[in-house]
């Protein structure tokens, strides 16, 4: 591999909004056999809207939304932003909060208006009996929405769901990668049924769902064992371990700083089509070299 052609290749890629951090990344991308995508913010817009709020018996919809928004105001997660925006649209005033802790891949816990509020995936509310809200969660997930549970003072209080449309270029990108002989996988912390619905709509056959942030690294290893060298595409803090583990980590440029810093390649436009473009450039450069 001549340094000059690699420099020309990375320069050409940069003009197209694909920033290779190193010549080695351009070379490594050519050898990748599987492309794994994070879901939220990578294949989807990452700007979900709150579509559903189902209070448990005895709880008031606006009251639980205000409690949820109060603690979520301290989280940067897309689901958190959707909940905060919904409360703002309704003009709800939020109670004062304290002791808020966001747990990546799980949810958020804190005190709001003197009550203990926890919101997130079922694993974030371990020990609580969520069976009263579970059928509602299954129904909404089947529609591709992401359900989250809210507990107040240790009692299941509501089920909320957000909907996050897939990016315009996502399905075409999956097809383009498969046409080039690559396997494509979806790796997400989201609900399994939600993930399978999104994967189906994009033509992705391999789905690893309900994966914790550290688990995303293991997912990359499992995909490597099955297919060979891995490219991982992600945008979130929770994607950093996978971006670092993959042969080539590609970060969405509009994603979090941690993701961008962990990546070998930055996709400035945030468009999944840039992945196919990056691969095409890497192959073109490596072909010219040999
Ligand atoms: P993804 O892999 O789709 O980016 P994450 O790993 O960020 O998902 O989160 C996985 C799941 O954890 C979410 O689908 C949600 O159920 C829960 N979760 C994480 N953070 C929050 C939050 N701030 N509020 C509510 N739920 C959350
Ligand atoms: Mg994400």
On the question of a common fold for 3-45+166-289 and 49-163, the answer reads no
Q: Which of 36, 121, 134, 241 to mutate to test the pocket of ligand 1 (most atoms within 8 A of CB)?
A: 121
Render pLDDT for 6-35 as a digit per residue (tens, 0 to 9): 888 899 999 999 999 999 999 999 999 999
Render pLDDT for 135-189 as a digit per residue (tens, 0 to 9): 999 999 988 899 999 999 999 999 999 999 999 999 999 999 999 999 999 999 9
SS3 197: helix
Residue-averaged pLDDT of the chain: 94
Q: Two tokens at 259?
A: 């993701």
Nearest residue by C-alpha to atom 21 in ligand 1 = 107
Strand stretches in the chain, DSSP E: 18-20, 34-38, 49-55, 97-103, 107-112, 115-120, 146-152, 155-163, 183-187, 206-208, 230-234, 248-252, 265-267
Of the listed ligands, the closest to the CA of 45 is 2
- Residues 196, 202, 203, CA angle at the centre, nearest 5°? 85
Render pLDDT for 195-211 as a digit per residue (tens, 0 to 9): 999 999 999 999 999 99
Contact 201, 144 (CB under 8 A): yes
State the distance from the centre of ligand 2 to the C-alpha of 194, rounded, in angstroms: 14
State the distance from the centre of ligand 1 to the C-alpha of 232, rounded, in angstroms: 18
State the distance from the centre of ligand 2 to the C-alpha of 59, rounded, in angstroms: 31
Mean pLDDT value across residues 52-73: 98
Q: Two tokens at 265?
A: 């390649």
Asked if residue 145 has its Cβ within 6 Å of ligand 1, the reply is: no
Say what the pLDDT of residue 289 is: 66
SS3 93: coil
Q: How far apart are CA 256 and CA 243, in angstroms?
A: 12
Q: How far apart are CA 277 and CA 127, in angstroms?
A: 46
Q: What residue spans define the domains of the chain?
A: 3-45+166-289, 49-163
- Which fold would CATH assign to domain 49-163? Calcium-transporting ATPase, cytoplasmic domain N (3.40.1110)
**Residue 1 pLDDT greater than 80, yes or no:** no
Residues near ion ligand 2 (CB < 5 Å) are 38, 40-41, 235-236
Residues 6 or more apart whose CB falls under 8 angstroms from that of 13 comprise 19, 20, 26, 277, 278, 281
Per the annotation, the verdict on 190 as an active-site residue is: no
Among 95-99, 241-245, 258-262, where is mean pLDDT lowest?
258-262
Higher-pLDDT residue of 255 and 103 is: 103
Q: Which CATH architecture has domain 3-45+166-289?
A: 3-Layer(aba) Sandwich (3.40)
């Amino acid at each position: 591999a001549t340094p000059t052609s690699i420099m020309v290749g990375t320069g050409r890629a940069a003009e197209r909004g694909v920033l290779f951090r190193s010549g080695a990344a351009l070379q490594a991308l050519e050898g990748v056999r599987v492309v794994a995508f994070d879901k939220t913010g990578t294949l989807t817009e990452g700007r979900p809207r709150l579509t559903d709020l189902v209070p448990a018996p005895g709880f008031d919809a606006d009251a639980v939304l205000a409690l949820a928004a109060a603690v979520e105001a301290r989280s940067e997660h897309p689901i958190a932003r959707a909940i905060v925006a919904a409360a703002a649209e309704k003009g709800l005033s939020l109670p004062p909060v304290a002791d808020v802790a966001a747990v990546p891949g799980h949810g958020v816990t804190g005190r709001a208006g003197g009550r203990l509020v926890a919101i997130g995936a079922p694993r974030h509310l371990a020990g609580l009996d969520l069976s009263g809200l579970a059928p509602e969660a299954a129904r909404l997930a089947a529609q591709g929405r992401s359900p989250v549970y809210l507990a107040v003072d240790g009692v299941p209080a509501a089920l909320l769901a957000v909907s996050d449309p897939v990016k315009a270029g996502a399905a075409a990108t999956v097809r383009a990668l498969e046409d080039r002989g690559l396997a494509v996988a979806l790796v997400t912390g989201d609900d399994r049924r939600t993930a399978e619905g999104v994967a189906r709509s994009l033509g992705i056959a391999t789905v690893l769902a309900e994966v914790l942030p550290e688990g995303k690294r293991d997912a990359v290893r499992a995909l490597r064992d099955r297919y060979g060298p891995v490219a991982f595409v992600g945008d979130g803090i929770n994607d950093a371990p996978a971006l670092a583990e993959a042969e080539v980590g590609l970060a969405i440029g509009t994603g979090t700083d941690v993701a961008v810093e962990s990546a070998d390649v930055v996709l400035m436009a945030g468009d999944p089509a840039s992945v196919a473009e990056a691969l095409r450039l890497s192959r073109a450069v490596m072909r010219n070299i040999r």
